[in-house]
Amino acid sequence: MEADLLDAASLSFPSDIDAAYYLVHSMSASGGFSSLEERSANNFVRAIQATNAKQVIYLSGIINDKELSTHLSSRKKVEEILSAGKVPVTTLRAGIIVGSEAHHSRSSAIL
């Protein structure tokens, strides 16, 4: 299935989901990505709550409470939005992964 998390009307998840992996991050240097991430997370929460999902797995970044970059502050906000829903959330906090190629894609969720 394909959906755009920024378009709530495109989100119609099958009801028989056991778990969903939320792997959505924006990395725009021009700003505005935080509001896009929040909107995507809110749309996802509304859609996943209409299913029988028992777990959401969220891939976040390493977060401390002292000094967070704008990107990591946004990751923390997304975690709070996902956790406010009725489906339990497990957050995996990963460091930066460096590879030989960089791929950019639209917002997506793996169900």
Count the Cβ atoms, other than its own, within 10 Å of residue 109: 20
Give the separation between CA 82 and CA 91, rounded to whole angstroms.
10
Tell me, yes or no, whether 85 lies in a domain: yes
Rounded to the nearest 5°, which phi and psi values hold at 42?
-65, -45
pLDDT at residue 62, rounded to an integer: 82
Residue 88 lies in domain = 8-98
Tell me, yes or no, whether 26 lies in a domain: yes
Tell me, yes or no, whether 110 lies in a domain: no
Structural domain total, the chain: 1
Tell me, yes or no, whether 93 lies in a domain: yes
What lies within 8 Å, CB to CB, of 1 at 6+ separation is 13, 14, 111
Q: Which residue in 92, 8, 13 sits closest to 52, CA to CA?
A: 13
Tell me, yes or no, whether 105 lies in a domain: no
pTM across the whole model: 0.80
Domain containing residue 53: CATH number: 3.40.50.720
pLDDT at residue 98, rounded to an integer: 62
Tell me, yes or no, whether 3 lies in a domain: no
pLDDT at residue 26, rounded to an integer: 74
Q: Quick check: 66 pLDDT over 70?
A: yes
pLDDT, one tens digit per residue, over 81-95 is 999 999 999 999 877
Tell me, yes or no, whether 104 lies in a domain: no
Tell me, yes or no, whether 41 lies in a domain: yes
